[in-house]
Amino acid sequence: MKHPTWPRTSSSPFSSLPFSNRSEFFTTRLCARPPLPSPPGAGDFSALPYDVLAKIAASFDDPNLRAASLVCRAWCEALRPLREAMALLLWGKRFKHGHRGVGPNPDRALDSFIKAAARGSALAMVDAGLIYWERGEKPKAMEFYHKAAELGNPSAQCNLGLSYLQAEPPNTELAVKWLHKASVCGNVRAQYQLALCLHRGGGRVRSNLKEAAKWYMKAAEGGYVRAMYNISLCFSFGEGLTRNHQLARKWMKRAADRGHSKAQFEHGLALFSEGDMMKAVVYLELATRAGEKGAAHVKNAVLHRLSSASRDHAMHLANSWRALPSS
């Protein structure tokens, strides 16, 4: 698999929320059974304004939404629209992906997402935005992303930031604003894209290698493979960080073991320079299979130095290799 290296953005930056694994899709209201009695001192909860509560709960998943609805009667009533939105959201995902006897139907999925979004679900706003983006209706997609981003949804903030990067002309300043909001919430894709923006600069955003390295590291520690590769380069070249060969090798290997083709090539070259021919061939073969053309030439040169048995063993290792999980 080819991976864009720094500082280039991914051609397909968006990802949908995972489809729910729940076996049942509830359309009944939680208030069908009486809420739990309010404990002493619960008046502080019930006094929370409905609009504030709805904004806080806009990105709640189903279990959290159900739990919040049982806090007190006031919350149960205030969260009624979001519970209805959750049922619509789950049906929308069934129509989008096809599940439990329902065939894929993007139009019905979008209709369900829009109805759920109208009831305040930030999760549905993101999914509606994704469908509009895939259809090429980018202004509508950004409208939904913006609504969800204002409600504090990190996925929407990330997608909105990426949308500004792909606008004509790109608006790097607004992109960085929203990517930063998502990054501080722990969204690793946003952290990586923010690092790219800070690395290269552009528009009113100045290049800041130290900050870029900081966000590469956070994304790498969060399991984002492309960030692992880039933080390795930061350590190698001393960009934003003090040069450290050992840490550069550590992160390069982590990226290589998780399927980053350029990292596999680089790590294979490093093993070759250290004289570890067997391991070098394995990583160079993996890089070659992933489309790194330069790796094939080096691999063939190394293979000539190995015995027939060693070559066969190296190919066996490459054939049985499986990428480690990202996190």
SS (H, E, C) 102-145: ECCCHHHHHHHHHHHHHCCCHHHHHHHHHHHHHCCCHHHHHHHH
The answer to the question of residue 187 being in a domain is no
pLDDT tens column, 247-257: 999 999 999 99
- Select from 150, 173, 208 the last residue of a domain: 150
**Alpha-carbon gap, residue 141 to 59, rounded angstroms:** 18
Tokens linked to 103? 């065939």
- What pLDDT, on a 0 to 100 scale, did the predictor assign at position 116? 98
114 in a structural domain = yes
Residues 123-139 have a mean pLDDT of: 97
- 118 part of a folded domain: yes
Report which DSSP code applies to 204: T
Average pLDDT over residues 89-97: 95
Q: What is the per-residue pLDDT for 25? A: 34
**3-state percent helix, strand, coil for the chain, nearest multiple of 5:** 65, 0, 35
- Rounded Cα distance between 160 and 22, Å, is 29
Angle between helices 188-200 and 225-237 (to 10 degrees): 40
Q: Which of these three, 103, 125, 150, is where a domain ends?
A: 150
Model confidence at 225: pLDDT above 50: yes
- Domain boundary residue, one of 150, 166, 188: 150
Question: Cβ distance 57 to 131 under 8 Å?
Answer: no
Task: Name which residue leads in pLDDT, 15 or 122.
Answer: 122
Structural domain includes residue 136: yes
6 pLDDT band (50/70/90 cuts)? low
Please report the pLDDT score of residue 45 as a whole number. Answer: 63
Specify the CATH number for the domain of residue 126: 1.25.40
Q: Return the pLDDT at 16.
A: 38
For the chain, give the mean pLDDT.
88
At residue 39, the pLDDT reads: 52
Strand partners, 168: none
Classify residue 100: in a domain, yes or no: yes
Of 5-19, 150-164, 235-249, which gets the smallest average pLDDT? 5-19
The mean pLDDT of 230-240, rounded to a whole number, is 97
pLDDT at 227 over 60: yes
Residue 175 lies in a domain: no
The confidence band for 326, taking pLDDT boundaries of 50, 70 and 90, is confident
pLDDT at 154: 97
Give the chain's domain count.
2
Residue 48 CA to residue 163 CA, distance in Å, equals 34
Residue 313 lies in a domain: yes
Q: How far is CA 221 from CA 108, 149, 192, 326, in A?
A: 39, 24, 11, 10
Domain that holds residue 114: 77-150
CA–CA dist 16, 90 (Å, integer): 13
Q: Write the Ramachandran bin of 60: left for phi over 0, alpha for psi from -120 to 50, otherwise beta.
A: beta
Of the pLDDT bands very low, low, confident and very high (cuts 50, 70, 90), residue 101 is confident
| pLDDT > 70: percent of the chain | 86
**Is residue 135 domain-resident?**
yes
**pLDDT higher than 50, residue 21:** no
Cβ atoms of 19 and 97 within 8 Å: the answer is: yes
* Terminal C-alpha separation, the chain: 18
Mean pLDDT lowest among 46-50, 114-118, 241-245, 322-326: 46-50
